[in-house]
């Protein structure tokens, strides 16, 4: 599975190590050394994956993610960070990154993360791809895996690849309760090294995008002690009143 992977890393030695591992797996690699150049290159030719260092000159990695998502660019982003506190890591996910690794990291583990992100991108497709299948519909929410599009009440909602993966899995089986472990498996396979808080962060971000009142969700519900489910609020209201 060959892909175009962009590395944004100002440490030339680390960037070279990552580049060699990626090219060994058959990927085309572009290396840039600062955040503004990373933004320019992504706009010029969207890569299949952006491996992005947080601490960079001109614009740090978090600012890069913030700008890319504000521009509705859905390129998958893997953050590399020396910041190891949970708040810092969750901030990166909240801004729209799909995964993170803390330094120092194992290049072999990094390649495993790259493979899972690329597999997920291939599976869900990208925005603007041919409309070859029917959207998954849960009430007025529609998830189209072929076009990588989400709409609510006919309005397009921009989701990161991680958010889209969670939503697509749940939309395929409405009203089914998904544990965090099941959602992680749906996203990445069972060889995943991330906390279940990743799923919680994706759910929180999705509620901001698909719920009329994110603090009082009616679509994406918590089943306490178990996990989450996606439901049609109109049907739920009908059942409650009958």
Give the pLDDT confidence of 87-130 residue by residue, as tens digits. Answer: 666 777 888 888 888 888 888 888 888 887 887 766 555 433 33
CA angle 116, 127, 50 (to 5 degrees): 45
Residue 62 sits in the same domain as residue 165 = no
Q: Residue 144: give its domain's CATH number.
A: 1.10.10.10
The answer on pLDDT for 4 being more than 60 is yes
Give the pLDDT confidence of 192-206 residue by residue, as tens digits. Answer: 445 677 888 889 999
Q: Write out the residue range of the structural domain in which residue 17 sits.
A: 4-124
Question: For the chain, what is the mean pLDDT?
Answer: 83
Indicate whether 9 belongs to any domain.
yes
* d(C-alpha 110, C-alpha 100), whole Å: 10
Give the pLDDT confidence of 130-174 residue by residue, as tens digits. Answer: 343 457 889 999 988 767 789 998 888 988 878 888 898 898 888
Structure tokens belonging to residue 34:
């600062």
Indicate whether 129 belongs to any domain.
no
* d(C-alpha 232, C-alpha 54), whole Å: 39
Residue 56 sits in the same domain as residue 164 = no
Q: Residue 114: give its domain's CATH number.
A: 3.40.50.2300
pLDDT of residue 134: 58
Residue 162 sits in the same domain as residue 85 = no
């Amino acid at each position: 599975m060959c892909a175009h992977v962009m590395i944004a890393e100002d440490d030339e030695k680390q960037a070279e190590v990552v580049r060699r591992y990626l090219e060994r797996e058959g990927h085309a690699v572009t290396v840039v050394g600062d955040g503004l150049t990373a933004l320019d290159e992504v706009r010029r030719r969207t890569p299949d994956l952006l491996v992005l260092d947080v601490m960079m000159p001109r614009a740090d990695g978090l600012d890069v993610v913030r700008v890319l998502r504000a521009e509705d660019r859905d390129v998958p982003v893997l953050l590399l960070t020396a910041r190891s506190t949970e708040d810092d890591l969750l901030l990166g996910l909240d801004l729209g990154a799909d995964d993170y690794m803390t330094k120092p990291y194992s290049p072999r583990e990094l390649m495993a993360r790259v493979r899972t992100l690329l597999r997920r991108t291939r599976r869900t497709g990208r925005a603007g791809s041919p409309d070859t299948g029917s959207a998954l519909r849960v009430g007025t929410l529609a998830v189209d895996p072929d076009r990588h599009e989400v709409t609510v009440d006919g309005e397009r909602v921009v989701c990161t690849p991680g958010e889209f993966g969670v939503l697509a899995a749940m939309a395929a089986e409405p009203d089914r309760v998904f544990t965090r472990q099941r959602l992680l498996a749906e996203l990445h396979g069972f060889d995943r090294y991330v906390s279940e808080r990743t799923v919680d962060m994706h759910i929180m971000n999705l509620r901001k995008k698909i719920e009329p009142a994110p603090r009082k969700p009616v679509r994406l519900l918590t089943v306490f002690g178990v996990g989450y489910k996606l439901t049609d609020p109109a049907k739920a209201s009908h059942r409650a009143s009958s």
